[in-house]
Structures are given as C-alpha cells and as structure tokens.
A and B are shown apart, each in its own frame.
Chain A
Amino acid sequence: MKGYLKYFSGKLVWFLITLIAAFVLNFILPRLMPGDPVAIITQRTVQGMTSQSGIQKVYEHYAEVFGTNKPIFEQFIIYMRNISQGNFGRSFSQYPRPVADIIKSSIWWTLALQFPAIIIGWLIGNTLGALAAYLKKGFDKVIMPISIFVSNLPAFGMAVILLVLFAVKAQWFPTSGGYGFDMIPNFSWDFVWSVIIHYQLPFWSIVLITIGGQAIGMRSMAIYELNADYVKYSRFLGIKDRKTIGYVFRNAMLPQITGLALSIGTMVGGALVAEVIFSYPGLGSTILTGVMGQDYPLISAVTLIISIMVLTATFLIEILYGVIDPRVKAAQTE
C-alpha cells in the first residue's frame, strides 16, 4: 500500500508541475506571435474614419481595455487572477463577447462530434486490427492496405471527398451547418432529424481516419502478442484458443488505451478540419478564427482546456496502469 501511495504522490507532483508550466506557456506563447491584435480590432472599428488623432484614440482605448499597454508581467498577474476566478477575459475577435461565453456555446458541438467519433473509430479500428492479425490471409490482405490508405489521407482530404461525393454530387446530406439553414432550434422531431442528418458527414470523416490508424496499431500489437512465448506455451498446454485470444487482446490493448486517452484529451481542439469544411459549429472553427485574429484570450483559454484535459487523461492513465499492471508501479517506485 505504501508503494502505491509513493507512486501516486510522485505522479501528482509531476502533474502539478506540468500544469503550472502549461499555465505559463499558455500565457506567453500566443503573445510571442508577431503582430498586434489591438491594431486588428482598431482597424475593424475605424473604417471610414478620416481623423488621424481619432484613430489613435480608438487604438489607445482598446489597448487600455485589453491591458496590452501594461508590462507583460503585470498582464500575467491579471491573467492568473482572472483565471482563478474562472474569467478568461474578453475575446479580441468577437469583442466584447466574453471568451467563456464563446467556448460555452461551441464546446458541446465539438464534444458531441468528437467523443462518439473517437470511441466508435477506436472500437471499429481495434476490432478490425485484431481480426486482421488473428484471421490473417484474405481478410488481412484487404484490411491492411485499406487501413494504411485511409489513415494516411489527410483529414481535410477525407472531409472534402465526403463533401463532394455525398453532399455536392449525390445531395444525400447537407453541405454545411449543424442544423437546417431554415430551422430555429426547438424540441421537435424535424429539428432533431435535421441535427442527425447534418451530423453524419463530419462524424464519418473523423471516424474513417481514426479506424485506419487504430487498425494498423492494433494489428501490429496483436501479431506481436500472438507470437509471444506465453501464447505458444498455453497452446502447448491445450488451453482453449478462445481463452488465449482473450489474454492476447487484453495485452495488445494496453498501448491502444493510452492512445485513446490522449485522443480524448485533445479532442477539444481536434475537430478543426471537419468543422471548418462542413461549417459545423464548434470550437474548431472558433480556434481558427482566434488564431487568425491573434485572439490571445481565446487561444489561451482553449489551449489551457486542452492542456488540462491531456494532463488529466495522462495522469489517470498512469494511475490506472499502476493498478492494472503492477510492473509499471514497481519499475517506477524502485
């Protein structure tokens, strides 16, 4: 038990150190980008204005509002204080909208798109990979090349192919949006159906890519395990194939679970391509606008969420490994 405590507390300390580093980097990195977001917002505001001193006044107003005229250290203190109160500040690109409000309104779309897509892609991919390793022959010969092909397609390529084939040419699905262009959100079957229809193409564009990558990984792991000594020995002992296979896939699964946890950790920022190509509402397109508009508060907030989710996922995985596989704990607490 003492060993576990030491293992957990060690992990927790590292978790906290990384978290603090993430905070600092989240603040600094966007601000190192060349350019001046206050100038961007000023430019939006002053179009058509003829007075030079008036334009300067507008610039100074926004510099004051966003605090960019203060020393960077003071800005960091203000940032930390605001974050501790759950206040991410106001967005540059959608000023004066609070960043929290922007994230709140789009994050659900992203999660609803990404989470099921990652899980389904992971399940199907691993099943196919395992089957390919186990069944070999024809099945493997078909699954492998397809998986390699699909997993190497860039995400935008897959999205564009689906868009052109099924939305533009066949017109089975809409080309853009999260629900019908003519709908007002409400609790009706029409609306729900509209959401489901709009969901399909972005969803499958993510699933298909995920399947390929997972299948390849699982296949290699499973082949390795299938040839392990314990498999040969258990076969020699006459243990039922079914039971052996169970052990094989449980062992092969370990690295795949790490991959899954990390995918879930990064999913908040991961659907950018699908969201942009299908004009799907969500954080992806918001992040893109944020980056293009040098929207520090928005970029910092989103990357902070991603950092925390990845760190938490990694932390949980490490803890879980310590429990599932005593060798990991033992190796690290020696």
Chain B
Amino acid sequence: MKRKIILLSFIVILSLVLGACAPQVEEPVEEEPTEEIQEPEEEETEEEPVAAGPDIDPAEIAASLPREETLYIAGLQWSAVVGWNPYSSANNNAMGIAAGNNARVPIFETPYMYNMINGEQIPLLADGPWTWNDDMTEVTFKLKEAAMWSDGTPVTAEDVAYTWATHVKYETTAGVGYGEYIDTIEAVDPQTVVIKAKLDEDGNAVNPLLLKAYVSSEYVVQKAWTEMLEDRTGGDATALKEDTAEDFVSSGPYTKFYDDDQKVVYIRDDNYWGQDDSMWGMLPVPMYLAHTIYADNNAGFLGLKAGEVDVSQQFNANVQDLWLVDGLPISTWMEEAPYGLTASLPTAYFNLESYGLDNIAVRKAIAYAVDYGTIIANAMTNQSPTFDQVPRSVMNPTDGEQALYDQEAVADLQWVGSQIEEANAILDEAGIVDTDDDGWRELDGQKLSYNAVCPNGWSDWQAAMEIVAAAGDDIGIEITTLYPEWGVYQTVFVNGDQQEYDIFMVWSDGAGPTQPWGRVRQLMYSQFAETQGNWNGNWGGYINPRIDEIINEIPSVTDQDRLVELYTEATEIYLTDIPSFTLMYRPDQFYTVNESVWTSYPSAEDGRNIPPMNLLDGYSIAGLYELELVNP
C-alpha cells in the first residue's frame, strides 16, 4: 500500500512539475503580439489595445535567441514591462523607453541625442544643429527627409508639434514639466519645427535652457497614432496615460519582440530609416536586445560573470577583480580607477532646522572631518575619483563642466576631508566646546546630537553614512545612523519642515543639457526651501538671495566668461556656506561590459567619443553600430 502511495505521489508530482510549466509557456505565446505594428487606420474601434497584425509567435522566429545576434543588458529592468506608451511615464520599460536628459532611444527617438562627454546635442531625427532667434525666444530645427515611422510614413514637423500639444492637453509629465517654459511648438513646413518659449514680463524667455533641453529629452510621437490613441481613450487624460499602447508606431531601430516576468526582448526593425546615409548609413549590429529580469544586483552580477550579460548597468563592487582575479574578459570605461565616467554627486544635506546645524561652524566641522577617502575606497570600491583628483565644487567631473568654473579662485575653500584638527579648531573658535565633560560638545548648553540618514539597503550610501557618523566621534558631535525603508525615507525628506532627519543623503542631477545650472539650482535654490512634496532640491532649507540671482541669471547668459564668473561665484558660496556636502562621485549609469561574445565597446581611450551609457541613452546608442563579434 505504502509503495503504491509513494508511486502515485511521484506521478502526481511529476505531472504537476511538467504541467505547471504549461500555462506560463502558453500564455505569453498567445498574448504576445508580433514585432510588427498595426496600421492605425484599419482597426480603430478596438477598446483594448491588443496587438494586431499577423499572429506571429516570437518563438517561431527564434525559440532561443541566437547568442551571436543578441546583446544582453542588465541593471535597467527589475520587474515586468508594463507598457509601451510614449505619453506615459509609468511604462516600467526601462531598456527602451526613458525620456529625460539622456533619453533612451532604441524605440522612440528624440530630435537630438545628448552626449554627456562633451555636452553636444547630435542630430538624430533632426537635420543639422538647431538655432536660436536673435532674442533667444525661439528654437528652430529641421527634420531629416529620410526619417520614417515604422509604418513607412515620414516623420514630419506636424508630428513634433502634435506631440507637444498632446503633452499639454493631457497634462503628461512632459506637459506639466515643460509647460512653464515652452509656449507652443509649431510646424512651419513639413520639415521645419519652431519651439516658442514662454516669456516673462520683460519679453525674455522664462528659461531658454529648458528649450535647449527639450530637443534631446522628449520623444517625437506620430500624430496619426496619437489621434488613434485619443479616439480609443475617448479623450480621457487618465485613460490616455494608462493605455499600454501595444500597437505603438515608433521611429527607432528596435521594436518589441517578447516580454514576460523574466525578460524583455526587442528585435531590430530592418526597415529602420536610420540606415540612410544621412544618419548612420547602416543598421545597428545586434538583431536582438535582451534584458533578463534579475531579482537583485547579486543575481545580475552572477549573470555577468557567467557571460549571460554583455552590458551591465549595475554597481559591481570591486569590479576590477573580474579581470584581475577571475581573469574574465570583462572591462569598464577605463582600465584604472575610477573605471567609469562619473557624473552625479551623491550629497549629504544638513537640515538647517535641526538644532545647531544653522551654525556654519558646526556644518563646516562635520564636512571637514569626514574621511572621504575611505568612503570612496570602501563604499564605492574606488569607482569614484577622489577629492584630490577632482576637487569639490558644484560641477561633476566631466571636462565640460569642470571648464565652467575658475578652480584657482576657490582652491582655498576646497577641503579634502579627514581634517580632524582643523574641524576641532573651527568648533573651539566658535565657542562650541564640551562644557559638561560628557565627551560631546554643547552649543549654548545643548548637546549637539544628530542622525545621519539614508534608505535601508542602499549599501554604498549606508557605508558612507557610517563614515559620517564616525567623523562625529572625532570632533565631539554625536552622530548616529538611521536607515528607514526607502518608502518611508522619501516621504519625509521631501517635506521642507521635517524635523526627523538631520543629515541625510540625496542624489544629485547627473549630466544633461541644463547642467550644471540644474544642479546649482538643486543644491541651493531658495524657492524649494520649506516646500512640501519637494522633489526639486535644497532639501536642507538653505536661503540666500544672491544665489537665487545667480540661478535666475545663468539660463540667459551666452557669454562664456560671464558664465564662468557666475558658476565660480556659485561654487564659492556653496563651499563657504556648506548647506550640503558631496560624499563621492558616481556614474550616471554604471558600465561594465563582457567581451565573451561582443567586442569593440565604447571606451575612454578609443577616441570615438561615445559616452558609456548602456549603448542606449542619447548618443551612447552609436555604440550599437560599432560592436563587433569576438568570433565573427
């Protein structure tokens, strides 16, 4: 009897194991549409945006993706794709759809591609550089005649204009984000686009920088498809933004192929207009772009080591061990530390509402005492330049930004850290001493005691906060660490009147067409102080009318010398008042590549000027045209 039961159980289990695979196997195959796009005019009546066109099963085209035709990317996509809607900012389709400073362009395209290495905007859909009118209130550019949508119709100025009108009408993120700065976008003729700025009372553009940013940050969407989307969603703004847009029409070199909870795969559109000589003159090399959805960094790291990932956008600690110790064919942007091109400045803000932190001596002493060398060596495993290599300012380490301020003028203010003696002297001089012999200094009789806060699980930031706390011990200021969950953290620090966090970490803007102006504004603009739900910056609540004047002036300045003057002054104010302090430099995107299958990846020394941004963001996509097979 027992034997029979065991045998029976075994059979049941085996059938369950095999059977369990079946629904999952079936499901995507039935639901997943083909890589091709429907003609909009034919099927307008459908409620749900199901993919139309011939019912081709992706598995029939490729049951397994040929390794030598597929580029595997990791570190962008952490859960299943939700949608393909260029008007939505909630597609969770990170490998393909991400508008912004370095807009991701494999599917939808922007008029220009931003190159973070030198700040250039390189024409993509656009033909030649854009131009200002004389009073800097209008940006004009032309579109390439060759530019086509995936349905074979040309990309026109009318598409660009209608995209903007849709953003405004339905209050999309782009619509409300740029609405204060852009008045209209008009099609002068089928190829010519004019972006008109909103004007202030003096008749000047409210902020010319934002017009400049728009051309490389926001996608162009087809007018005909947009009209169909509007019909389908009955003109309802929420419905339009929630539509998953499975039937999208795009202009980029890739389109969707397959996605489920474990991966997303794009396939090359071999009719892509960009093979015209006026653009790339060829198709991108990989036929497929694939992204395995790993549970966490560690799983993605194992994938990279196993050769299942070609381009890794993850923080891989001690990345050099991959080639020095493990002997793997893995490399980064640079052979030596800091290995990557750093562009953002993770920063610790002082809450100026906290007792004693409104005192500049206290802020200065803490900032001087922190051991940044250890933060960079331990938390970042040297994947950041040190503050000796790139002295602190409001600039990121890129050459373009470093050239925007006069380093000699502020050299005396640029501290490097671990200056315990100096920090103690600053406090002593300010009369902030330990009056009750408890080992901690008091200010007007009250002990100086703070928390140093960052989200739980952000291990490099946590390591940095530990070092900040240790600095407190050295100078007699009690600093304890606190690591709330991100969900909690981000509802507290965005409120201007919060009293819970004293010293807390926030990222900074990376590279983009509005930088470093955007970063200066983020670090110090008084308008953000004490606002609720503040995602913009100045989280410590710093107020300084002079820095506001500088921030308001910079966008309209075209004279390079004046610009340097203003940025130098901004840096001087920042390093003198220390409303916050940078802890390390960090890449905009991490970039580690495995050369088991593909080679000729962009790197710092190759002279090709392609930025290390996943081969997807802005001008980084040029890298897809340069790849070569290791074994052709």
Near B by CB (< 8 A), chain A positions 264-323 give: 275-281, 285-286, 289, 292-294
Cβ of A21 under 8 Å from chain B: no
Contact B64 A180 (CB under 8 A): yes
Contact A181 B490 (CB under 8 A): no
Given A94-B79, A94-B82: A175 and B306 within 8 A (CB)?
A: yes
Contact B535 A55 (CB under 8 A): yes
Contact B292 A177 (CB under 8 A): yes
Given A55-B535, A178-B262, A275-B295: A185 and B24 within 8 A (CB)?
A: yes
Contact B16 A185 (CB under 8 A): no
Contact B65 A182 (CB under 8 A): yes
Given A176-B294, A185-B28: A45 and B89 within 8 A (CB)?
A: yes
Total A-B contacts with CB atoms under 8 angstroms apart: 218
Cβ of A95 under 8 Å from chain B: yes
Q: How many Å from the CB of A69 to the closest CB on chain B?
A: 13
Cβ of A120 under 8 Å from chain B: yes
Query: By the criterion of a CB under 8 Å from any partner CB, how many residues of chain B are at the interface?
Result: 88
Cβ of A12 under 8 Å from chain B: no
Q: How many Å from the CB of B324 to the closest CB on chain A?
A: 19
Contact B67 A54 (CB under 8 A): no
Given A45-B89, A97-B82: A52 and B299 within 8 A (CB)?
A: no
Contact A277 B295 (CB under 8 A): yes
Cβ of B302 under 8 Å from chain A: yes
The chain A residue with its CB closest to the CB of B57 is A186
The CA-CA distance from A40 to B65 in the complex, in Å, is 35
Q: How many Å from the CB of A245 to the closest CB on chain B?
A: 11
Task: Give the interface residue-count category, chain A.
Answer: 35 or more
- Neighbour of B217 across the interface among A40, A48, A187, CB < 8 A: A48
Cβ of B221 under 8 Å from chain A: no
Cβ of B115 under 8 Å from chain A: no
Cβ of A59 under 8 Å from chain B: yes
Given A51-B180, A58-B176, A106-B261: A115 and B65 within 8 A (CB)?
A: no
Residues of B within 8 A of A293 (CB): 487
Interface string of B422-452 (1 = CB under 8 A from A): 0000000000000000000000000000000
The CA-CA distance from A168 to B295 in the complex, in Å, is 16
Cβ of B100 under 8 Å from chain A: yes
Contact A105 B101 (CB under 8 A): no
Given A94-B92, A176-B299: A55 and B16 within 8 A (CB)?
A: no
Cβ of A166 under 8 Å from chain B: no
- Neighbour of A59 across the interface among B9, B21, B181, B533, CB < 8 A: B533
Cβ of A144 under 8 Å from chain B: no
Residues of B within 8 A of A36 (CB): 487, 491
Residues of B within 8 A of A168 (CB): 302
Spot the interface stretch: A188-196, A255-263, A325-333. Answer: A188-196
Cβ of B58 under 8 Å from chain A: yes
Given A49-B177, A176-B299: A289 and B79 within 8 A (CB)?
A: yes
Contact B490 A43 (CB under 8 A): yes
Cβ of B286 under 8 Å from chain A: no
List 10 A-B pairs, minimum CB-CB distance, nearest first. A112-B20, A186-B59, A54-B176, A49-B177, A279-B295, A35-B487, A96-B242, A35-B488, A36-B491, A116-B13
Which of B's residues lie within 8 Å of A, judged by CB? 6, 9, 12-13, 16-21, 23-25, 27-29, 57-60, 62-65, 67, 70, 72, 78-80, 82-83, 88-90, 92, 100-101, 171, 173, 176-181, 210, 217, 238, 242, 244, 258, 260-263, 265, 290, 292-296, 299, 302-303, 306, 308, 484-488, 490-491, 494, 509, 512, 514, 518, 521, 527-528, 531, 533-536
